[in-house]
Amino acid sequence: MADETAGSKAAAGFEEEQARLGRETGAEVIRSYLPSLPARPGVYRMLGAKGEVLYVGKARSLRARVSNYARLQGNSPRIQRMIEATASMMFVTTPTEMEALLLEANLIKQLKPRYNVILRDDKSFPHILLTGDHAFPQIAKHRGARARKGRYFGPFASAGAVNRTLNQLQKAFLLRTCSDSVFESRTRPCLLHQIKRCSAPCAGLIDEAGYAALVEDAERFLEGRSTSVQEELADRMRTASAEMEFEQAAIYRDRIAALTRVQQAQGVNPETVEEADVVAVHAEGGQACVQVFFFRSHQNWGNRAYFPKAGAHVPEEEILAAFLAQFYGGKTPARLILTSHEPEDADLVAAALSAAAGRKVTLARPVRGEKRLLVDHALTNAREALARRMAEGAAQGKLLAGLAEAFGLEAPPRRIEVYDNSHIQGAHAVGAMIVAGPDGFDRKSYRKFNIRGEELTPGDDFGMMKEVLTRRFRRLLKEDADRESADWPDLVLIDGGAGQVSAAAEALAALGAEDVPLIGVAKGLDRDAGKEEFHRPGGARPFALPHRDPVLYFVQRLRDEAHRFAIGAHRAKRAASIGKTPLDEAPGIGPARKRALLAHFGSAKAVARAGVSDLMAVEGISRTMAESLHAFLNGDA
């Protein structure tokens, strides 16, 4: 368990530390900490002049590791810049170096220091779940904690890969995908049975033993024993054909074909590698790509490319070590991890992953055989993916430069925010903000705003836009009044004409942010794409861009993406409101009791018409609760 060292300067506030050190930065500041540092494992943080975290590192010996930064020579340009910017440091000791590694990975994820290698996309991976708490198991896509009883197969590289596999597995094994509640409520087969994707256990068209045989076949296939499954299906097909049961033989034929398509979609299926994650890194031009391939049960479940933030001169071994520590935080690693390079502190990384997984995890860099071919394949994909990204980045850079020239900006914008509203005659109004920059759309930064201004007239687009921008920039000023973070936009685009721009400019001016560049994008007189007019605050005459200008197409894509996101948010809000019932607000009525009431009475309207004695007939509803619910639904509460 980590503990603050007695000699840590973190105990004193940052202002006190600055008073002691003045405004000094660099190696002298770092050297001043050495006398009080222990020769114990721990984590150190290097802070800039304003308290921002520049770097997080771990050490077997804090004193020895930090002393390296106090030297004036032997550092890369990146590390030298970091040393020169360091104004103070913080330290935490840990019992072991392995715990220091895990703490370092967590702090990097949380603080996102400028000089660390940072994994930017860290979503969980989807799995295929065969439930184990029902007589007729369900096969479904699953993401997140493994709370439900059953068998989990994966990970898959994407939800699309799971959906494609499930689609074929339905055809091959005829397992149900419906939820338990739907299963229990059905008396007739659904459409999936009609198109030969479900054996319809809900309607009793297959008994428990027959369905269990299908489940067993599916498990064997997902475990990698696909050859035996296909051979058995081929035998059954030949037997059915010989007995002139041609319809049954056709079913077996279709199942074999579905399994073959699954295997084709999985691509390379190794013979000697049962379970492994293949991780390959390629760095070039100050950028890096890490490709991760997932192999389970001798099957390839897809791959995903990552582009961690790593500055120039960072060796691939360091990138790989940082990536592994962050990537597997909260994820279960494979028993074998094959890498393209030997990561820094490979033994320590393997020990940390083993401790987190609760079983042995091996790191290996193969030099020959099938394992080496898998690594080479992943490395080729990393190299090609990075080349594509760099080419796209160059094209994006030209568009941003053209945008700056067209709109009179001082420099190409690093962050563009685009705003739009969506509603139907004022109902379920939603504001939307999308973000774009040198790397394209930054979907993690998208935001939606539920319009809640009670004084607004329904359908008041100007008032809605004013509310959205007021809420967005008020929070931005609260979190970063000095405008030092990358969250401040270099350009704000509004989907609308002079009226929307005027409302937006008024909102920004009221907050003291009128200097943020603001442009309105309005369709021309014929409302045709390609005839857009651009509006500036202050009533300036609108202007247009040449019809075939690439910058115009770029702005159209930004506007269309904001429109898509706004409409999606509006539809989700409208759909949620449609499903609401008075029971949602009833005191003491949670999800379980709500389901019981709706199942008993059939609808929320029938619940409202029921008497106290009728409500008490529902399991879990006492007399006191029945009286309270009756009073609430009938306006007597």
- Taking all residues of the chain, what is their mean pLDDT, rounded to a whole number? 83
Residues 58, 61, 63, 64: is their CA dihedral positive or negative? negative
Q: What's the mean pLDDT in 572-598?
A: 75
Q: Which of 3-12, 280-289, 319-328 has the lowest mean pLDDT?
A: 3-12
Strand-pairing partners, residue 127, are 142
Name the class of domain 582-633. mainly alpha
Report CA-CA distances (Å) from 457 to 75, 428, 449, 503.
62, 13, 17, 15
Separation CA 341–CA 320 (nearest Å): 8
The superfamily in CATH containing domain 275-387 is Ribonuclease H-like superfamily/Ribonuclease H (3.30.420.10)
* CATH code at 416-576: 3.30.420.340
Supply the pLDDT for residue 366.
Answer: 92
Q: Each residue of 427-470: pLDDT tens digit?
A: 778 889 999 998 888 888 999 998 876 666 666 788 888 889 99
Enumerate the CATH 3.30.420.340 domain ranges in the chain, comma separated.
416-576
Q: Please give the helix or strand (H or E) that residue 419 lies within, else none.
A: strand 416-424
Supply the pLDDT for residue 1.
Answer: 46
Nearby residues of 344 by Cβ (< 8 Å), 6 or more positions away: 317, 318, 320, 321
Q: Would you state the structure tokens that stand for residue 360, as one six-digit string?
A: 């042995």
Enumerate the CATH 1.10.150.20 domain ranges in the chain, comma separated.
582-633
Enumerate the CATH 3.40.1440.10 domain ranges in the chain, comma separated.
14-111
Secondary structure class of 461 (helix, strand, coil): helix
Residue 182, pLDDT > 60, answer yes
DSSP state of 9: T
Q: What's the mean pLDDT in 338-357?
A: 89
The reply to whether omega before 137 is within 30° of 0 (cis) is no
DSSP state of 123: P
pTM for the whole thing?
Answer: 0.63
Enumerate the CATH 3.30.420.10 domain ranges in the chain, comma separated.
275-387
Which position has the higher pLDDT, 579 or 384?
Answer: 384
Q: Count of H helices and E strands in the chain? A: 21, 18
The burial class, CB within 10 Å (0-12 / 13-18 / 19+), for 369 is exposed
Separation CA 128–CA 114 (nearest Å): 37
DSSP state of 166: H
Q: Tell me the residue ranges of DSSP E strands in 138-177.
A: 139-142, 150-153
Separation CA 273–CA 337 (nearest Å): 11
**Scanning the structure block, which residue is given the tokens 């961690």?**
308
What is 14-111's CATH topology? GIY-YIG endonuclease (3.40.1440)
Residue 125, pLDDT > 70, answer yes
Residue 524, pLDDT > 80, answer no
Supply the pLDDT for residue 528.
Answer: 57
Q: Nearest to residue 334, comparing CAs of 370, 297, 367? A: 297
Q: Each residue of 32-59: pLDDT tens digit?
A: 898 888 898 999 999 988 888 999 999 9
Q: What's the mean pLDDT in 328-345?
A: 88
Residues 161, 167, 172, 177: is their CA dihedral positive or negative? positive
- Greatest mean pLDDT among 9-13, 402-406, 570-574 lies in 402-406
Residue 586, pLDDT > 70, answer yes
Secondary structure class of 35 (helix, strand, coil): helix
494 and 518 Cβ atoms separated by less than 8 Å: yes
391 and 463 Cβ atoms separated by less than 8 Å: no
DSSP state of 309: B
Separation CA 142–CA 271 (nearest Å): 27
Q: Transcribe 213-249 into DSSP letters.
A: HHHHHHHHHHTT-HHHHHHHHHHHHHHHHHTT-HHHH
